Amino acid sequence: MPHSTLEAAPTSHLDLSWVRSQFPSLSLEVNGRHAAFLDGPGGTQVPQRVIDAISEYLRTSNANTAGAYATSRRTDQMIADARAAMADFVGCNSEEIIFGPNMTSLTYAISRAIGRELGPGDEIVLTHLDHDANISPWRALEERGVKVQIADIHEEHCTLDMDDLARKITPRTRVVAAGYASNAVGTINDVKTIVRLAHEAGAMAFIDAVHYAPHGPIDVRDLDCDFLACSTYKFFGPHMGVLCGKREHLARLHPYKLRANTNAVPQRWEWGTLNHECITGINACVEYLAELGRRSYGDVQRVGHRETVADVGTGALARPAERSSAPDPNLPGNVGGSPGRRQAICSAYRAIRAHERGLMHRMLSGLAEIPGLRLYGIADPARIDFRCPTFAVRIPGHTPLAVATKLGDQGIFTWDGNYYALNLTERLGVEPDGGFLRIGFVHYNTEEEVDRVLEGLRRVAS
């Protein structure tokens, strides 16, 4: 959980020109101006190595799995490598990683399997801050007589009402499903406490980390969550979903699956033929992050710098990292595959977070000066560690669609509407008026892009 304040934000170690050189689409132009991709929450751009890995797979290894010939064996190896990469990314074992078309489908797979064991008298706790992909798959179990409770928010800064959540978790609760961060207003939730509250009541905890994944490091062992889902297209990879589940659950629960499907964990949760070329792209995207970490903090490898999620995590960044002269074999990383990769990923997020902090400060102070503009979510710069650089705004007299269109014509890509955070737009009463305008930054965005969007908003408001 974020806990420190940001009086002394550390200097970013992010080499922004190297970062931007990795993403070929960032050079796109619209109406003579370079495109500002502020649509990361809807999906990020991909580095060249992801594009290369996908085409290389199709050129040299394209086959179905488990065949007795070269390209099929290569495909099996490639999937195993990608599982190891994702295991390093979230801090679990390879066999706890499941691939699927997207987070929504994987969440339905888990909710259906859990639902087979539930009925009247059982309850599920959700939140008003969540994307509908972490609402509807659970609400579907209402047809089995399961009761759904929804934890409320503090409207003034769009943070989760933890007291309300705690009240709603009772001995009848079987699952608590919550987001790591809101894809609409950017709030980062105290997921570790949410998991603890769920476990104290004997319930399972399902965490939707889709929006958090491009912004902060994930450590499922530290969180102790039972399931965590994310989508690689939100953190610089291809359009795929990934689910991490505790092995005991993946082995015990009964997924709906084909007779011919293996019962092995985790493959019993993966049905039909997967998108192999995109899976190879996942490996490349994790490697991109690892290289970013190594370049940002070059001493990670040389001196065995103990870079862990605790050092990097949102809020903990200002703490000086501990150093030792030898790599620590007990580090929570490298559980999946390549030595040092998890540490390097954590280092990448340290650099990403520092850079994004700078963007957030600039954006918050600029937004505060635009007459009439309303920001939904945390506005206090001292509480920046509790948010991602995702900003939901409205300007009186202009629909979010009209503002997004004006910005789009200037090459500034934003979103309007509810982005499926339907519970939140309904709760805040903005759904009938077009939702919010969402401006989302990731680590490849620049201060110049912050200034451009602020100028665009100023012109609309004045």
Ligand X SMILES: Cc1ncc(COP(=O)(O)O)c(C=O)c1O
Q: Footprint of ligand X on this chain (CB under 6 A)?
A: 102-104, 131, 133-134, 179, 183, 208, 210-211, 231, 241
Q: Of 72 and 102, which CB lies nearer to ligand X in the complex structure? A: 102
85: tokens are 């990469």
State in angstroms the smallest separation of the CB of 33 from ligand X.
27
Q: Of 241 and 400, which CB lies nearer to ligand X in the complex structure? A: 241
State in angstroms the smallest separation of the CB of 331 from ligand X.
29
Amino acid at 367: L
Q: Of 213 and 321, which CB lies nearer to ligand X in the complex structure? A: 213
State in angstroms the smallest separation of the CB of 103 from ligand X.
4
State in angstroms the smallest separation of the CB of 428 from ligand X.
17
**Strand order, beta sheet including 415-417:** 374-376, 390-394, 436-440, 415-417
| Element housing 98 (H / E) | strand 97-100
Q: Of 104 and 280, which CB lies nearer to ligand X in the complex structure? A: 104
State in angstroms the smallest separation of the CB of 269 from ligand X.
16
Q: Of 169 and 210, which CB lies nearer to ligand X in the complex structure? A: 210
Question: Which DSSP letter does residue 135 get?
Answer: T
Q: Of 211 and 452, which CB lies nearer to ligand X in the complex structure? A: 211
Peptide bond into 266 cis (omega under 30): yes
| Element housing 46 (H / E) | none
CA-CA distance, 202 to 171, in Å (whole number)?
A: 7
State in angstroms the smallest separation of the CB of 179 from ligand X.
5
State in angstroms the smallest separation of the CB of 41 from ligand X.
6
State in angstroms the smallest separation of the CB of 129 from ligand X.
9
CA-CA distance, 256 to 5, in Å (whole number)?
A: 46
CA-CA distance, 48 to 168, in Å (whole number)?
A: 46
Beta-ladder partners of 127: 151
CA-CA distance, 13 to 292, in Å (whole number)?
A: 10
- Pairing type for strands 374-376 and 241-245 reads unpaired
CB 114 within 8 A of CB 144: no
DSSP structure string for 360-399: HHHHHHHHHTSTT-EEES---GGGGGGB-SEEEEEBTTB-
Q: Of 149 and 189, which CB lies nearer to ligand X in the complex structure? A: 189
State in angstroms the smallest separation of the CB of 162 from ligand X.
19
190: tokens are 């105290």
Q: Of 297 and 391, which CB lies nearer to ligand X in the complex structure? A: 391
State in angstroms the smallest separation of the CB of 92 from ligand X.
19
Question: Which DSSP letter does residue 429 get?
Answer: T
- Pairing type for strands 36-37 and 159-160 reads unpaired
CA-CA distance, 235 to 40, in Å (whole number)?
A: 8
Q: Of 237 and 456, which CB lies nearer to ligand X in the complex structure? A: 237
Tell me if residue 268 falls in helix, strand or coil.
helix
Question: Which DSSP letter does residue 354 get?
Answer: H
* 267 Cα distance to chain centroid: 23
State in angstroms the smallest separation of the CB of 47 from ligand X.
19
Cα→Cα distances 232→7, 104, 145, 189, 239, Å: 33, 13, 34, 20, 6
Q: Of 4 and 102, which CB lies nearer to ligand X in the complex structure? A: 102
352: tokens are 């990403």
Q: Of 177 and 351, which CB lies nearer to ligand X in the complex structure? A: 177
